[in-house]
Amino acid sequence: MKLQQLSVFLENKPGSLKKSLAVLADAKINISTLALAETKDYGILRLVIKDWEKAKSALEQGGFTVRQTEVLAVEVEDRPGGLATVLAPVEAAGVNVEYMYAYSTGTKAKAVLIFRFSDLDKAIAALKGAGMNVLENLQVFGP
């Protein structure tokens, strides 16, 4: 159920995003999806990667500060209101969304939403109860 996400600390200056991505490219690691949260001085790059352990050590060897966090991937219909159907049961369970980002595969008419919840287990229970499709690793990354 739970997906491992990597967060990388980046300074908000020209070249720092490229430098971190170059480390992954050199290690031949493909990124499934990513998001970047930024402030005036720094940013946090969040990455979902199939081979996250290899990615983590590559980034650490490249001199980056990396943190591993558990997130949830929820598949919804790629249509208006899709996200709202996920949020309703979570809100009812009193779970807070700390951050989220999404990606759309384009072919399956489905979208995948990546969530960091204040309480992952409670969120899983609420989503399952509402009949939502919480993805396992393999489903996200494909065979």
Partner 1 sequence: MTIEQWNDIPGTFHPACTPDFLPLPQLRELQLQRLQATVRRAYANVPLMRKRMDEKKVKPEDIRTLKDIERIPFTVKADLRDTYPFGMFASPMQEIVRLHASSGTTGKPIVVAYAREDIEVWTNVMLRSFAACGLHQGDIVQNAYGYGLFTGGLGAHYGAEALGATVIPISGGNTDRQIMILKDFGVTAICCTPSYFIHLIERAGEMGVKMKELPLRVGVFGAEPWSESMRQYIKENSNVEPYDIYGLSEIIGPGVGIECSAHQGLHIFEDHFLPEIIDPETGAVLPDEAEGELVLTTLSKKAMPMLRYRTRDITTLARGQCGCGRTICRFLRVGRRSDDMFIIRGINVFPSQVEHALLRVEGTLPHYQIVLTRDKGLDKMEVQVEVTPEVFADTVGAMEALQKKIAQALNQTINLNVAVRLVEPHTIQRSEGKAKRVIDQRKM
* Using rule CB under 8 A, residue 101 touches partner 1: no
Of the two residues 64 and 86, which places its CB atom closer to partner 1 in the complex?
64
Q: Which residues contact 128 (CB under 8 A, 6 or more apart)?
A: 134
Q: 61 vs 16, 24, 64, CA distance in Å?
A: 15, 11, 7
Pair 46, 68: CB distance under 8 Å: no
* Using rule CB under 8 A, residue 117 touches partner 1: no
Q: Within the chain, how many helices (H) and strands (E) appear? A: 5, 7
Which span sits near partner 1 by CB under 8 A: 65-73, 80-88, 120-128, 129-137? 65-73
The conformational region for residue 19 under phi > 0 = left, psi -120 to 50 = alpha, else beta, is alpha
Exactly one of 55, 116, 127, 132 binds partner 1 (CB under 8 A); that residue is 116
* Using rule CB under 8 A, residue 139 touches partner 1: no
* Using rule CB under 8 A, residue 98 touches partner 1: yes
Exactly one of 2, 4, 9, 21 binds partner 1 (CB under 8 A); that residue is 9
Considering the complex, what minimum distance in angstroms separates the CB of residue 98 from partner 1? 6
- Torsions phi, psi of 137, nearest 5? -45, -55
Of the two residues 52 and 64, which places its CB atom closer to partner 1 in the complex?
64
Q: Alpha-carbon distance 47 to 15, whole Å?
A: 18
List of residues contacting partner 1 (CB under 8 A): 7, 9-11, 16, 37, 39, 41-42, 44, 46, 63-67, 69, 98-99, 116
